[in-house]
Chains A and B, each alone.
Chain A
Amino acid sequence: MSVLIFADAADGQIKKSSLEAITYGVDLAQKIGATASALVLGKVTDDLSALGKYGINKVYHIADEKYNQLDARLYTKAIASVVSTSGTQVLILCNNLTGKSVAPRLSVALKAGLVTGASGLPDTSNGFVVKKAVFSGKAYANIKIPTATKIIAISPNSYKTVAGEGKAEVIAAVGSDIAPQVKVTSTQKVTGQVPLSEAELVVSGGRGLKGPENWGMVEDLAGLIGAATACSRAVADAHWRPHHEHVGQTGGSIAPNLYLAIGISGAIQHLAGVNRSKVIVVINKDPEAPFFKAADYGIVGDAFEVVPKLIDAVKQFKGVA
């Protein structure tokens, strides 16, 4: 038996979400008595033998630069060929932006049952059953994969990375000779900030903050604890904040360790995007705000008074004056 983890990279480095997928794959391999290998596409600056720290024996590396841009069709051919030649039974990906693009294609190419957004190791006591969040985090489904080859795309930030000692053997592999057809012409990236999709901590603001000019304290608080910033739909629709910060039913869906919501009432559509957060803190002046029902900790009070005090308290905790 063999488990293969596809680990994608950005800017030459393996993404944090893919390191989580690696740990997941290694734990799964141990559970079913298999070996765990990884596959990396494109030129990277990371030392790939260091993936041995996470329990990987072999890293297949297709170092062709054409894989440094995402072309789902090209990625699929390359990954599918390594799955076949390595005799992989279970392929693991992270259900991040790359995973969402290639996992479904691989399911077809390999005729392999796929579960996306998985949140724990499969139950192998009766077949191969994977749990995933459905109904936008309001429920879970247990899904059976009966096919010989199986694919699991795990939710970002749902599995903790564990690193130890070890060195993996890096094996150069070759991809297909077809040319990419999807060409990236420019990148618009917010630098110096934690990407929302990978963030462990998120500070979010809603209409209660009254206007974009009041976002300074949200950013200050986020900066202090190393969090990403997010916002409610009303805020994105009013163009107070960029669309990619919108979390909720029709925006992004996130599952950070901490979601701290300021001035957001917590409509059911907003909850759908954040209800998988491990800890939810709500600051709202309306004690009847529905968000308090979904929260772990709450402060009933005016954000403009509470947040500056909270910033001071965090500064004290962090030991910064």
Chain B
Amino acid sequence: MKILVCISKTPDTTAKIAFADNNTKFAQDGVQWIINPYDEWYALVRAIELKEKDPSTIIHLLNVGGADTEPIIRKALALGGDEAIRVNTEVSDSYYIAAQIAAIAKEGYDLVLTGKETIDYNGSSIGGMVSELLDINYVSLATKLELNGSTVTLNREIEGGEETCEAPLPLVVSCQKGMAEQRIPNMKGIMGARTKPLKVVEPIAADILTSIVSFELPPAKAGVKLISPDNPGELVKLLHEEAKVI
């Protein structure tokens, strides 16, 4: 079993969101970078759990990003995984990134795991695009994944619940909460990560299908209107007459 886990670099969940260059670029000053939580907590940790069950499993981590991503790749390797590959490009178009991942993924991986989306662009697109590029199956928003030989049993989210489904390998899966629990790397993992192979490859030629014109911040809230705890009827009235939501 060979698993490819796609990891992305995102600003920390508490990072201040601001823009530079006339609102065309994310302002990176003072921003802490992390592994996209969905990629780390769910996709990567689940892959590690599968390797713990079957030690012959091989896990490769894949990042499409510039050299400044290497610290977070090492952090991911400290959690687990045998080696990492970085495709050396900073282009952010989903199709372009998916094409880079597909070029690596077609080299004999059984399972490609991604997080359900990144917390910066919230595209939720990479896994689906990779699966189409490889013309293989895709199960999105999975909350559970078990291997039974060449079949994968998964739970995925549906409106108001979940459904269990089966799909053959090779398969692309986007992972979300429920799949695994967050882990903290231990000292042995951190030491070991330093010597694990991190291969850098150059990107393949691929199209760019979209481009970001500008960013904007949402309009500021007018400020909270406080209502006396003794008079919740006033809240009901405001929600009905002013906010018109009930």
Contacts and interface: CB of A to CB of B under 8 A. Distances in A.
- Is B a genuine binding partner of A? yes
A183 B165 CA distance: 5
Nearest to B162: A188
B178 A243 contact: yes
A198 B214 CA distance: 29
21 contacts: A100-B141, A101-B140, A105-B131, A108-B128, A114-B94, A138-B217, A142-B215, A144-B210, A181-B137, A185-B164, A188-B162, A195-B160, A197-B160, A250-B37, A250-B177, A275-B218, A278-B243, A293-B224, A295-B221, A309-B232, A314-B246
Contacts, number: 286
The B contact surface, by secondary structure, is: mixed
Contacts of B209: 107, 111-114, 145-147
The A contact surface, by secondary structure, is: mixed
Contacts of B245: 200-201, 257-258, 278-279
Interface of B: 11, 13-14, 17, 19, 37-38, 41, 94-95, 98, 116, 119-129, 131-133, 135-141, 143, 153, 155-168, 174, 177-178, 207, 209-218, 221-222, 224-230, 232-233, 235-240, 243, 245-246
A142 B214 contact: yes
Nearest to A192: B160
Interface in A110-134: 111-117, 129, 132-134
Given A100-B174, A105-B132, A181-B168, 15 more contacts: A10-B158, A100-B116, A104-B98, A105-B128, A139-B17, A144-B213, A182-B166, A187-B158, A187-B163, A250-B37, A279-B239, A281-B239, A299-B229, A300-B226, A314-B236
A186 B154 CA distance: 11
Contact of B161 (A133, A190, A312): A190
A6 interface: no
A116 B196 CA distance: 36
Given A138-B17, A272-B13, A188 B123 contact: no
